[in-house]
Structure 1
Protein backbone atom coordinates (compact mmCIF):
# COMPACT_ATOMS: atom_id res chain seq x y z
CA UNK A 1 0.00 0.00 0.00
CA UNK A 2 1.26 3.47 -0.86
CA UNK A 3 2.32 5.43 2.25
CA UNK A 4 -0.02 8.11 3.51
CA UNK A 5 1.17 11.65 4.01
CA UNK A 6 0.72 13.77 7.13
CA UNK A 7 1.70 17.33 8.02
CA UNK A 8 2.86 17.88 11.60
CA UNK A 9 3.22 21.24 13.30
CA UNK A 10 5.04 21.07 16.61
CA UNK A 11 4.93 24.05 18.99
CA UNK A 12 7.52 24.12 21.75
CA UNK A 13 5.85 26.27 24.40
CA UNK A 14 8.38 28.75 25.74
CA UNK A 15 6.05 30.51 28.18
CA UNK A 16 5.05 27.56 30.33
CA UNK A 17 6.90 25.95 33.23
CA UNK A 18 9.32 28.93 33.31
CA UNK A 19 10.39 28.46 29.72
CA UNK A 20 12.37 25.74 27.95
CA UNK A 21 15.81 25.09 26.53
CA UNK A 22 14.73 25.72 22.94
CA UNK A 23 17.87 24.45 21.14
CA UNK A 24 17.98 21.38 23.37
CA UNK A 25 14.29 20.63 22.90
CA UNK A 26 14.55 21.12 19.14
CA UNK A 27 17.40 18.60 19.01
CA UNK A 28 15.31 16.06 20.93
CA UNK A 29 12.39 16.61 18.53
CA UNK A 30 14.80 16.26 15.60
CA UNK A 31 15.96 12.88 16.91
CA UNK A 32 12.39 11.62 17.32
CA UNK A 33 11.32 12.79 13.87
CA UNK A 34 14.37 11.36 12.17
CA UNK A 35 14.52 7.84 13.46
CA UNK A 36 11.77 6.79 15.84
CA UNK A 37 10.13 4.29 13.46
CA UNK A 38 11.05 2.91 10.04
CA UNK A 39 7.34 2.82 9.20
CA UNK A 40 7.11 6.64 9.47
CA UNK A 41 9.57 8.31 7.13
CA UNK A 42 10.11 12.04 7.68
CA UNK A 43 10.12 13.52 4.17
CA UNK A 44 10.69 17.14 5.25
CA UNK A 45 11.44 18.74 8.61
CA UNK A 46 11.91 22.47 9.14
CA UNK A 47 12.41 24.88 12.03
CA UNK A 48 10.30 28.02 11.58
CA UNK A 49 12.71 30.93 11.67
CA UNK A 50 12.35 33.09 14.78
CA UNK A 51 9.65 30.90 16.33
CA UNK A 52 9.57 27.90 18.66
CA UNK A 53 7.86 25.84 15.96
CA UNK A 54 8.76 22.86 13.78
CA UNK A 55 6.85 21.70 10.70
CA UNK A 56 7.33 18.24 9.21
CA UNK A 57 5.88 16.02 6.48
CA UNK A 58 5.70 12.25 7.04
CA UNK A 59 5.14 9.33 4.68
CA UNK A 60 3.52 6.66 6.84
CA UNK A 61 3.14 2.96 6.04
CA UNK A 62 1.97 1.96 9.54
CA UNK A 63 0.03 4.47 11.61
CA UNK A 64 1.16 2.88 14.88
CA UNK A 65 4.73 3.91 14.15
CA UNK A 66 3.52 7.49 13.82
CA UNK A 67 1.52 7.26 17.04
CA UNK A 68 4.57 5.98 18.91
CA UNK A 69 6.55 8.95 17.62
CA UNK A 70 3.83 11.29 18.90
CA UNK A 71 3.95 9.49 22.26
CA UNK A 72 7.69 10.15 22.32
CA UNK A 73 7.06 13.84 21.70
CA UNK A 74 4.48 13.91 24.48
CA UNK A 75 7.10 12.62 26.94
CA UNK A 76 9.19 15.72 26.26
CA UNK A 77 6.41 17.83 27.79
CA UNK A 78 5.59 21.46 27.04
CA UNK A 79 4.84 20.62 23.40
CA UNK A 80 1.66 20.92 21.29
CA UNK A 81 1.29 18.78 18.17
CA UNK A 82 -1.22 19.10 15.34
CA UNK A 83 -1.59 16.66 12.44
CA UNK A 84 -3.23 17.05 9.02
CA UNK A 85 -3.80 14.40 6.37
CA UNK A 86 -2.16 15.34 3.05
CA UNK A 87 -2.10 14.17 -0.53
CA UNK A 88 0.63 14.85 -3.11
CA UNK A 89 -0.31 17.94 -5.09
CA UNK A 90 0.53 15.98 -8.24
CA UNK A 91 -2.34 13.59 -7.46
CA UNK A 92 -4.72 16.51 -7.04
CA UNK A 93 -3.45 17.99 -10.33
CA UNK A 94 -4.22 14.67 -12.04
CA UNK A 95 -7.80 14.99 -10.82
CA UNK A 96 -7.89 18.45 -12.41
CA UNK A 97 -6.61 16.88 -15.65
CA UNK A 98 -3.36 18.81 -15.72
CA UNK A 99 -0.86 17.63 -18.37
CA UNK A 100 0.64 14.29 -17.35
CA UNK A 101 4.17 15.53 -17.99
CA UNK A 102 3.69 17.91 -15.06
CA UNK A 103 2.09 15.45 -12.64
CA UNK A 104 4.89 12.92 -12.41
CA UNK A 105 5.91 12.11 -8.80
CA UNK A 106 8.03 14.72 -7.09
CA UNK A 107 11.78 14.24 -7.00
CA UNK A 108 11.94 16.02 -3.62
CA UNK A 109 13.84 19.06 -4.89
CA UNK A 110 14.02 20.96 -1.59
CA UNK A 111 17.56 21.09 -0.22
CA UNK A 112 19.34 22.91 2.58
CA UNK A 113 19.09 26.59 1.66
CA UNK A 114 19.00 29.94 3.43
CA UNK A 115 15.99 31.14 1.43
CA UNK A 116 13.40 28.52 2.29
CA UNK A 117 9.78 29.56 2.84
CA UNK A 118 6.62 27.74 3.90
CA UNK A 119 3.31 29.02 2.51
CA UNK A 120 0.04 27.95 4.12
CA UNK A 121 -2.59 28.80 1.48
CA UNK A 122 -6.37 28.72 2.02
CA UNK A 123 -8.62 29.06 -1.02
CA UNK A 124 -12.23 30.22 -0.89
CA UNK A 125 -14.29 31.36 -3.87
CA UNK A 126 -16.75 34.15 -3.03
CA UNK A 127 -19.11 34.94 -5.89
CA UNK A 128 -17.94 31.98 -7.98
CA UNK A 129 -19.32 28.53 -8.68
CA UNK A 130 -17.41 25.37 -7.85
CA UNK A 131 -16.86 24.77 -11.58
CA UNK A 132 -15.34 28.24 -11.91
CA UNK A 133 -13.05 27.58 -8.96
CA UNK A 134 -11.87 24.27 -10.44
CA UNK A 135 -11.06 25.93 -13.77
CA UNK A 136 -8.97 28.56 -11.99
CA UNK A 137 -7.33 25.92 -9.82
CA UNK A 138 -6.42 23.93 -12.93
CA UNK A 139 -4.57 26.98 -14.27
CA UNK A 140 -2.92 27.41 -10.87
CA UNK A 141 -1.78 23.80 -10.65
CA UNK A 142 -0.41 23.97 -14.20
CA UNK A 143 1.53 27.17 -13.44
CA UNK A 144 2.96 25.82 -10.17
CA UNK A 145 4.08 22.49 -11.58
CA UNK A 146 5.47 24.10 -14.74
CA UNK A 147 7.60 26.34 -12.50
CA UNK A 148 9.19 23.22 -11.03
CA UNK A 149 9.37 20.98 -14.10
CA UNK A 150 10.25 23.57 -16.74
CA UNK A 151 11.36 26.62 -14.77
CA UNK A 152 13.77 24.96 -12.38
CA UNK A 153 12.09 26.35 -9.26
CA UNK A 154 12.73 24.20 -6.18
CA UNK A 155 9.36 23.64 -4.55
CA UNK A 156 7.21 20.96 -2.96
CA UNK A 157 3.41 21.14 -2.85
CA UNK A 158 0.85 19.26 -0.77
CA UNK A 159 -2.94 19.53 -0.61
CA UNK A 160 -4.76 19.03 2.69
CA UNK A 161 -7.26 16.20 2.29
CA UNK A 162 -10.87 17.38 2.31
CA UNK A 163 -9.96 21.08 2.56
CA UNK A 164 -9.28 23.92 0.13
CA UNK A 165 -5.83 24.32 1.59
CA UNK A 166 -2.34 23.90 0.12
CA UNK A 167 1.08 23.81 1.80
CA UNK A 168 3.99 24.99 -0.32
CA UNK A 169 7.69 24.74 0.55
CA UNK A 170 9.82 26.79 -1.82
CA UNK A 171 13.41 27.97 -2.27
CA UNK A 172 13.19 31.61 -3.36
CA UNK A 173 14.49 35.04 -2.40
CA UNK A 174 11.90 37.19 -0.56
CA UNK A 175 11.53 39.83 -3.31
CA UNK A 176 11.11 37.18 -5.98
CA UNK A 177 8.61 35.26 -3.89
CA UNK A 178 6.58 38.41 -3.23
CA UNK A 179 6.38 39.05 -6.97
CA UNK A 180 5.46 35.45 -7.72
CA UNK A 181 2.54 35.33 -5.30
CA UNK A 182 0.91 38.36 -6.91
CA UNK A 183 0.99 36.76 -10.36
CA UNK A 184 -0.40 33.31 -9.64
CA UNK A 185 -3.68 32.50 -11.46
CA UNK A 186 -5.43 31.74 -8.17
CA UNK A 187 -4.64 35.32 -7.06
CA UNK A 188 -5.16 37.21 -10.32
CA UNK A 189 -8.53 35.52 -10.89
CA UNK A 190 -9.69 34.89 -7.30
CA UNK A 191 -7.62 37.22 -5.12
CA UNK A 192 -10.31 38.02 -2.56
CA UNK A 193 -10.74 34.30 -1.88
CA UNK A 194 -7.09 33.53 -1.13
CA UNK A 195 -5.41 33.79 2.26
CA UNK A 196 -1.69 33.06 2.50
CA UNK A 197 0.43 32.79 5.63
CA UNK A 198 4.14 32.80 4.81
CA UNK A 199 6.92 31.77 7.17
CA UNK A 200 10.66 31.68 6.62
CA UNK A 201 11.98 28.24 7.55
CA UNK A 202 15.30 26.42 7.75
CA UNK A 203 16.17 22.75 7.60
CA UNK A 204 15.82 21.34 11.11
CA UNK A 205 18.99 19.25 10.82
CA UNK A 206 20.97 22.34 9.84
CA UNK A 207 19.50 24.37 12.72
CA UNK A 208 20.24 21.62 15.25
CA UNK A 209 23.86 21.27 14.14
CA UNK A 210 24.61 25.00 14.14
CA UNK A 211 22.51 26.73 16.80
CA UNK A 212 24.68 25.92 19.82
CA UNK A 213 28.11 25.68 18.19
CA UNK A 214 28.48 28.19 15.37
CA UNK A 215 30.60 31.23 16.19
CA UNK A 216 29.14 34.59 15.12
Structure 2
Protein backbone atom coordinates (compact mmCIF):
# COMPACT_ATOMS: atom_id res chain seq x y z
CA UNK A 1 0.00 0.00 0.00
CA UNK A 2 1.37 3.45 -0.90
CA UNK A 3 1.99 5.94 1.88
CA UNK A 4 2.07 9.72 2.23
CA UNK A 5 4.08 11.87 4.62
CA UNK A 6 2.51 14.71 6.58
CA UNK A 7 3.80 17.30 9.00
CA UNK A 8 1.22 17.97 11.71
CA UNK A 9 1.24 20.90 14.13
CA UNK A 10 -1.00 21.20 17.19
CA UNK A 11 -1.41 24.51 19.01
CA UNK A 12 -3.08 24.38 22.42
CA UNK A 13 -5.11 27.57 22.89
CA UNK A 14 -4.29 28.15 26.54
CA UNK A 15 -6.01 31.52 26.88
CA UNK A 16 -9.32 30.29 25.43
CA UNK A 17 -9.77 27.47 27.92
CA UNK A 18 -9.76 29.32 31.24
CA UNK A 19 -6.64 27.51 32.35
CA UNK A 20 -5.44 24.07 31.39
CA UNK A 21 -3.24 21.33 32.81
CA UNK A 22 -0.68 21.54 30.01
CA UNK A 23 1.39 18.47 31.01
CA UNK A 24 -1.79 16.39 31.07
CA UNK A 25 -2.87 17.75 27.67
CA UNK A 26 0.55 17.00 26.21
CA UNK A 27 0.46 13.47 27.61
CA UNK A 28 -2.94 12.91 25.98
CA UNK A 29 -1.58 14.27 22.71
CA UNK A 30 1.40 11.92 22.89
CA UNK A 31 -0.97 8.97 23.36
CA UNK A 32 -3.28 10.07 20.55
CA UNK A 33 -0.43 10.65 18.10
CA UNK A 34 0.58 7.01 18.51
CA UNK A 35 -2.93 5.51 18.65
CA UNK A 36 -3.18 4.17 15.08
CA UNK A 37 0.24 2.64 14.34
CA UNK A 38 -1.09 0.45 11.51
CA UNK A 39 -2.41 3.49 9.65
CA UNK A 40 -0.26 6.42 10.86
CA UNK A 41 3.34 5.61 11.71
CA UNK A 42 4.75 8.43 13.81
CA UNK A 43 8.31 9.27 12.72
CA UNK A 44 8.95 12.29 14.96
CA UNK A 45 7.05 14.02 17.78
CA UNK A 46 8.46 17.17 19.32
CA UNK A 47 7.22 19.80 21.75
CA UNK A 48 8.19 23.37 20.91
CA UNK A 49 10.24 24.60 23.85
CA UNK A 50 8.39 27.12 26.00
CA UNK A 51 5.21 26.95 23.90
CA UNK A 52 2.01 24.93 24.03
CA UNK A 53 2.76 23.54 20.60
CA UNK A 54 3.61 20.14 19.13
CA UNK A 55 5.05 19.26 15.74
CA UNK A 56 5.01 15.71 14.38
CA UNK A 57 5.84 13.87 11.16
CA UNK A 58 3.74 10.89 10.06
CA UNK A 59 3.89 8.23 7.40
CA UNK A 60 0.23 7.58 6.59
CA UNK A 61 -1.01 4.44 4.84
CA UNK A 62 -4.69 4.94 5.68
CA UNK A 63 -5.92 8.51 5.84
CA UNK A 64 -8.90 7.50 8.00
CA UNK A 65 -6.47 6.69 10.81
CA UNK A 66 -5.14 10.23 10.50
CA UNK A 67 -8.66 11.67 10.51
CA UNK A 68 -9.58 9.66 13.62
CA UNK A 69 -6.45 10.87 15.37
CA UNK A 70 -7.31 14.51 14.60
CA UNK A 71 -10.88 13.91 15.83
CA UNK A 72 -9.43 12.61 19.08
CA UNK A 73 -7.24 15.70 19.42
CA UNK A 74 -10.32 17.91 19.01
CA UNK A 75 -11.93 16.18 21.98
CA UNK A 76 -8.98 16.93 24.27
CA UNK A 77 -9.63 20.68 24.25
CA UNK A 78 -9.44 23.89 22.24
CA UNK A 79 -6.62 23.17 19.81
CA UNK A 80 -5.67 24.28 16.32
CA UNK A 81 -4.38 21.53 14.04
CA UNK A 82 -2.62 21.98 10.72
CA UNK A 83 -1.64 19.13 8.44
CA UNK A 84 0.61 19.64 5.41
CA UNK A 85 1.77 17.04 2.85
CA UNK A 86 5.54 16.69 2.61
CA UNK A 87 8.09 14.37 1.01
CA UNK A 88 11.76 13.55 1.70
CA UNK A 89 14.11 16.32 0.63
CA UNK A 90 16.37 13.84 -1.15
CA UNK A 91 13.64 13.28 -3.76
CA UNK A 92 13.68 16.99 -4.53
CA UNK A 93 17.48 16.80 -4.70
CA UNK A 94 17.16 14.00 -7.28
CA UNK A 95 14.98 16.32 -9.37
CA UNK A 96 17.75 18.93 -9.05
CA UNK A 97 20.20 16.29 -10.38
CA UNK A 98 22.30 16.23 -7.23
CA UNK A 99 25.04 13.59 -7.16
CA UNK A 100 23.74 10.21 -5.98
CA UNK A 101 26.40 9.68 -3.29
CA UNK A 102 25.00 12.32 -0.93
CA UNK A 103 21.45 11.07 -1.49
CA UNK A 104 22.23 7.73 0.13
CA UNK A 105 23.72 9.00 3.37
CA UNK A 106 21.75 8.80 6.59
CA UNK A 107 21.99 11.29 9.43
CA UNK A 108 22.31 10.49 13.10
CA UNK A 109 19.43 10.49 15.59
CA UNK A 110 18.15 14.05 15.19
CA UNK A 111 18.20 15.04 18.84
CA UNK A 112 20.95 12.72 20.06
CA UNK A 113 23.59 14.03 22.41
CA UNK A 114 23.51 17.25 24.39
CA UNK A 115 22.97 19.74 21.57
CA UNK A 116 19.78 21.79 21.37
CA UNK A 117 17.21 20.67 18.83
CA UNK A 118 15.57 23.08 16.39
CA UNK A 119 12.72 23.01 13.91
CA UNK A 120 13.50 25.26 10.97
CA UNK A 121 10.90 26.33 8.41
CA UNK A 122 12.72 27.71 5.38
CA UNK A 123 10.62 29.57 2.82
CA UNK A 124 12.24 30.50 -0.50
CA UNK A 125 11.18 33.17 -2.98
CA UNK A 126 13.18 34.30 -6.01
CA UNK A 127 12.35 37.89 -6.90
CA UNK A 128 14.82 39.17 -9.48
CA UNK A 129 15.85 35.68 -10.58
CA UNK A 130 14.57 33.25 -13.16
CA UNK A 131 13.25 29.82 -12.22
CA UNK A 132 16.32 28.18 -13.77
CA UNK A 133 18.60 30.42 -11.69
CA UNK A 134 16.67 29.48 -8.54
CA UNK A 135 17.00 25.76 -9.29
CA UNK A 136 20.74 26.10 -9.91
CA UNK A 137 21.17 27.82 -6.54
CA UNK A 138 18.92 25.28 -4.84
CA UNK A 139 20.95 22.44 -6.34
CA UNK A 140 24.09 23.77 -4.65
CA UNK A 141 22.12 24.20 -1.44
CA UNK A 142 20.89 20.61 -1.59
CA UNK A 143 24.44 19.32 -2.01
CA UNK A 144 25.55 21.27 1.07
CA UNK A 145 22.59 20.11 3.20
CA UNK A 146 22.73 16.44 2.21
CA UNK A 147 26.52 16.31 2.50
CA UNK A 148 26.21 17.51 6.09
CA UNK A 149 23.54 14.89 6.74
CA UNK A 150 25.44 12.03 5.14
CA UNK A 151 28.55 13.05 7.11
CA UNK A 152 26.75 12.25 10.36
CA UNK A 153 24.93 15.51 11.04
CA UNK A 154 21.84 15.41 13.25
CA UNK A 155 19.58 16.54 10.42
CA UNK A 156 16.21 15.48 8.99
CA UNK A 157 14.83 17.25 5.91
CA UNK A 158 11.49 17.41 4.09
CA UNK A 159 10.05 19.59 1.36
CA UNK A 160 6.44 20.77 1.35
CA UNK A 161 4.41 19.58 -1.61
CA UNK A 162 3.89 22.38 -4.19
CA UNK A 163 5.50 24.98 -1.92
CA UNK A 164 8.99 26.45 -1.89
CA UNK A 165 9.32 25.49 1.76
CA UNK A 166 11.68 23.10 3.55
CA UNK A 167 11.23 21.68 7.05
CA UNK A 168 14.39 20.78 8.92
CA UNK A 169 14.91 19.17 12.32
CA UNK A 170 18.48 19.72 13.44
CA UNK A 171 20.51 19.36 16.64
CA UNK A 172 23.33 21.89 16.74
CA UNK A 173 25.03 24.48 18.90
CA UNK A 174 22.95 27.68 18.53
CA UNK A 175 25.94 29.90 17.69
CA UNK A 176 27.12 27.48 15.00
CA UNK A 177 23.58 27.20 13.63
CA UNK A 178 23.31 30.98 13.44
CA UNK A 179 26.59 31.15 11.52
CA UNK A 180 25.22 28.55 9.15
CA UNK A 181 22.34 30.86 8.26
CA UNK A 182 24.87 33.16 6.58
CA UNK A 183 27.04 30.47 5.00
CA UNK A 184 24.52 28.29 3.13
CA UNK A 185 24.61 28.68 -0.67
CA UNK A 186 20.97 29.70 -0.82
CA UNK A 187 21.63 32.48 1.72
CA UNK A 188 24.78 33.71 0.00
CA UNK A 189 23.18 33.75 -3.44
CA UNK A 190 19.51 34.48 -2.68
CA UNK A 191 19.40 35.55 0.96
CA UNK A 192 17.07 38.51 0.49
CA UNK A 193 14.40 36.08 -0.75
CA UNK A 194 14.75 33.51 2.02
CA UNK A 195 12.85 33.52 5.31
CA UNK A 196 13.83 31.15 8.15
CA UNK A 197 11.72 30.54 11.24
CA UNK A 198 13.63 28.77 14.00
CA UNK A 199 11.92 27.17 17.00
CA UNK A 200 13.67 25.22 19.74
CA UNK A 201 12.22 21.73 20.26
CA UNK A 202 12.61 18.68 22.45
CA UNK A 203 11.25 15.15 22.30
CA UNK A 204 7.57 15.05 23.30
CA UNK A 205 7.78 11.66 24.99
CA UNK A 206 10.76 12.85 27.03
CA UNK A 207 8.85 15.99 28.02
CA UNK A 208 5.88 13.93 29.19
CA UNK A 209 8.13 11.64 31.23
CA UNK A 210 10.08 14.42 32.92
CA UNK A 211 7.73 17.38 33.38
CA UNK A 212 6.14 16.02 36.56
CA UNK A 213 9.11 14.08 37.92
CA UNK A 214 12.26 16.15 37.51
CA UNK A 215 13.38 18.27 40.45
CA UNK A 216 14.75 21.75 39.83
Is TM (by shorter chain) over 0.5? yes
Task: Please report how far the alpha carbon of residue 17 of structure 1 lies from its aligned counterpart in structure 2 after TM superposition.
Answer: 2.3
Query: Following the alignment from structure 1 to structure 2, what is the Cα–Cα distance between the partners of residues 77 and 134?
Result: 43
Which residue pairs with 1:39 in the alignment?
39
- Asked whether the equivalents of residues 37 and 69 of structure 1 are also in contact (C-alpha less than 8 Å), the reply is no
- Asked whether the equivalents of residues 3 and 61 of structure 1 are also in contact (C-alpha less than 8 Å), the reply is yes
Query: Following the alignment from structure 2 to structure 1, what is the Cα–Cα distance between the partners of residues 50 and 107?
Result: 29
Which residue pairs with 1:147 in the alignment?
148
Query: Following the alignment from structure 1 to structure 2, what is the Cα–Cα distance between the partners of residues 108 and 39?
Result: 26
- How many residues are treated as equivalent by the alignment? 215
The change in CA–CA distance for 1:96 and 1:132 in structure 2 (over 3 A counts) is same
Query: Following the alignment from structure 2 to structure 1, what is the Cα–Cα distance between the partners of residues 170 and 156?
Result: 6
- Structure 2: gaps spanning 5 or more residues: none
Which residue pairs with 1:27 in the alignment?
27
Task: Please report how far the alpha carbon of residue 36 of structure 1 lies from its aligned counterpart in structure 2 after TM superposition.
Answer: 3.1
- Asked whether the equivalents of residues 13 and 20 of structure 1 are also in contact (C-alpha less than 8 Å), the reply is no
Query: Following the alignment from structure 1 to structure 2, what is the Cα–Cα distance between the partners of residues 160 and 204?
Result: 23
1:16 has 2:16 as partner? yes
For each residue in 1:177-204, what CA deviation from the matched residue of structure 2 results, as whole angstroms up to 9, or x when unmatched? 0011110001000000000000000000
Which residue pairs with 2:174 in the alignment?
174
- Asked whether the equivalents of residues 11 and 53 of structure 1 are also in contact (C-alpha less than 8 Å), the reply is yes
- Asked whether the equivalents of residues 156 and 170 of structure 1 are also in contact (C-alpha less than 8 Å), the reply is yes
Which residue pairs with 1:132 in the alignment?
133
Query: Following the alignment from structure 2 to structure 1, what is the Cα–Cα distance between the partners of residues 108 and 70?
Result: 24
- Asked whether the equivalents of residues 37 and 66 of structure 1 are also in contact (C-alpha less than 8 Å), the reply is no
For each residue in 1:1-23, what CA deviation from the matched residue of structure 2 results, as whole angstroms up to 9, or x when unmatched? 34210000100111012021111
Which residue pairs with 2:88 in the alignment?
88
Secondary structure at the counterpart of residue 50 of structure 1: coil
Query: Following the alignment from structure 2 to structure 1, what is the Cα–Cα distance between the partners of residues 106 and 31?
Result: 25
For each residue in 1:99-132, what CA deviation from the matched residue of structure 2 results, as whole angstroms up to 9, or x when unmatched? 1111127566314555100101100011000000
- Structure 1: gaps spanning 5 or more residues: none
Which residue pairs with 1:213 in the alignment?
213
Which residue pairs with 1:117 in the alignment?
118
Secondary structure at the counterpart of residue 69 of structure 1: helix
Higher helix share: 2
Which residue pairs with 2:68 in the alignment?
68
The change in CA–CA distance for 1:20 and 1:30 in structure 2 (over 3 A counts) is same
- Asked whether the equivalents of residues 107 and 149 of structure 2 are also in contact (C-alpha less than 8 Å), the reply is no
Q: CA RMSD in A?
A: 1.4
